Amino acid sequence: MAEERMTGNDQPCEMGTPPDFDRLTPAFRTLCETVAALRAPTGCPWDREQTLETIKPYTLEETYELLEAIDSRDDDAIVEELGDVLLQVVLDAQIGSDEGRFALVEVVERLTDKMIRRHPHVFGDESAETTEEVTKHWRAAKQAEKHDRDSALDGIPVDLPQLARAARITSRAAKVGYDFPDRNMLFDKLNEEISELASELFEDGRIPLVAAGVEGPVVPDQHVKDSEKRECIEGELGDVLFVLANIARRWGVNPEEALRNSNRKFTRRFQSIEHELSRRGVQIEDATLAEMEECYQAEKRKE
């Protein structure tokens, strides 16, 4: 039985059914006409001033807001943020058209051609029964398209979040055989990098054994003032993060998503501290570390 999905009207439809073009076509046309009007001489001054370069930060921001909406599982928010991402695509294409460089129809046509070309098991004579076979077809088609690249690492966006970029870099290197034969070796590599970081942080190169807890005097941080020393520390810390991203890749985990989830978890638990202390009539600045940790652990137990 074909898998079913819900339409925007809460009506089930067969998976893979295209949208209602009687609604979509005029709606998309109106969107394109609206964006064009904003860029017209009598349109919006802000929109008229935008270039592909100036609009980049907004494109990135809208993408992250979409990810947040997806994490929230709020369909209304997802629809809203998908619309904002679509606006960025249409606006970028309108800017390209206004500058005589390219048009939206070229974007759509090239995307469609690429999707058909990279799925020969759906639109051609090839076959694929597993995701591994699909990936093999995709890589072969992509390699044929990118024949002008000099390096296996060419084409990885430099503006990707750096944990995600690290995973992408190591993945590309692994495709041509440059990878540890056993993924467990990465933990030996991680220990090596932590040891090198410790040699930069501590005079004797040994990490002080201080148990994590809330008791004891507060020891103030001391930031490294020497720029050369700080650069060495950054280099070693970066190596540790790079290995962690590689570990995530070898276990099939997205490191950027993992960190996003941890950030969200800590934010939720920290805000529970604020809420509980407020309920007790205590300002968080006046609370002891032990009180805050008690609230944190209580929230953790609830989860």
Q: What is the pLDDT of residue 146?
A: 65
User: Which whole number is the average pLDDT over 252-258?
Assistant: 91
169 and 245 co-located in one domain: yes
Q: How far apart are CA 107 and CA 113, in angstroms?
A: 10
Question: Is residue 299 predicted with pLDDT exceeding 60?
Answer: yes
Per DSSP, the three-state class of 142 is helix
Of the pLDDT bands very low, low, confident and very high (cuts 50, 70, 90), residue 155 is: confident
269 and 233 co-located in one domain: no
User: Which whole number is the average pLDDT over 108-115?
Assistant: 94
203 and 232 co-located in one domain: yes
User: Which whole number is the average pLDDT over 227-240?
Assistant: 95
Where among 237, 253, 269 does a domain terminate?
253
Q: What is the pLDDT of residue 9?
A: 53
Torsion sign, CA atoms 248, 253, 255, 259: negative
φ and ψ at residue 12, rounded to 5 degrees: -65, 145
Dihedral over alpha carbons 275, 280, 282, 287 (to 10 degrees) = -80
User: Does 24 reside within a domain?
Assistant: yes
User: Does 200 reside within a domain?
Assistant: yes
- Contact indicator for 81, 65 with CB cutoff of 8 Å: yes
User: Does 214 reside within a domain?
Assistant: no
User: Which whole number is the average pLDDT over 162-187?
Assistant: 93
Of the pLDDT bands very low, low, confident and very high (cuts 50, 70, 90), residue 219 is: confident
Which domain CATH number covers 70? 1.10.287.1080
249 and 166 co-located in one domain: yes
Each residue of 126-145: pLDDT tens digit?
887 888 777 777 777 776 76
Where among 57, 82, 102 does a domain terminate?
102
Question: Is residue 218 predicted with pLDDT exceeding 90?
Answer: no
Return all residues near 41 (Cβ < 8 A) that are at least 6 apart: 48
Query: What domain count does the chain have?
Result: 3
264 and 295 co-located in one domain: yes
User: Does 60 reside within a domain?
Assistant: yes
Query: Tokens 């398209």 appear where?
Result: 145
User: Does 149 reside within a domain?
Assistant: no
- Contact indicator for 173, 153 with CB cutoff of 8 Å: yes
Q: What is the pLDDT of residue 289?
A: 93
Each residue of 4-52: pLDDT tens digit?
445 455 556 688 899 999 999 999 999 999 999 999 999 999 999 999 9
- Contact indicator for 137, 121 with CB cutoff of 8 Å: yes
166 and 249 co-located in one domain: yes
- Contact indicator for 163, 245 with CB cutoff of 8 Å: yes
Domain that holds residue 70: 18-102
Of the pLDDT bands very low, low, confident and very high (cuts 50, 70, 90), residue 216 is: confident
User: Does 150 reside within a domain?
Assistant: no
Of the pLDDT bands very low, low, confident and very high (cuts 50, 70, 90), residue 148 is: low
Q: What is the pLDDT of residue 154?
A: 86
User: 167-176 — which CB contacts under 8 Å span 24+ positions?
Assistant: 167/245, 167/246, 167/248, 167/249, 167/254, 167/255, 167/256, 170/242, 170/245, 170/246, 170/249, 171/249, 174/249, 175/139, 176/152
Q: What is the pLDDT of residue 303?
A: 87
DSSP-assigned states of every residue in 32-68 = HHHHHHHHSTTS-HHHHH--TTTTHHHHHHHHHHHHH
97 and 58 co-located in one domain: yes
User: Does 5 reside within a domain?
Assistant: no
Each residue of 268-286: pLDDT tens digit?
999 999 999 999 999 999 9
pTM of the model: 0.65
Dihedral over alpha carbons 83, 87, 89, 90 (to 10 degrees) = 130
Q: First and final CA of the chain: distance in angstroms?
A: 37
- Tell me the pLDDT of the chain averaged across its residues: 89
- Contact indicator for 107, 48 with CB cutoff of 8 Å: no
Task: Compute how many other C-beta atoms are within 10 angstroms of the C-beta atom of residue 273.
Answer: 19
Q: What is the pLDDT of residue 28?
A: 96
Where among 61, 76, 102 does a domain terminate?
102
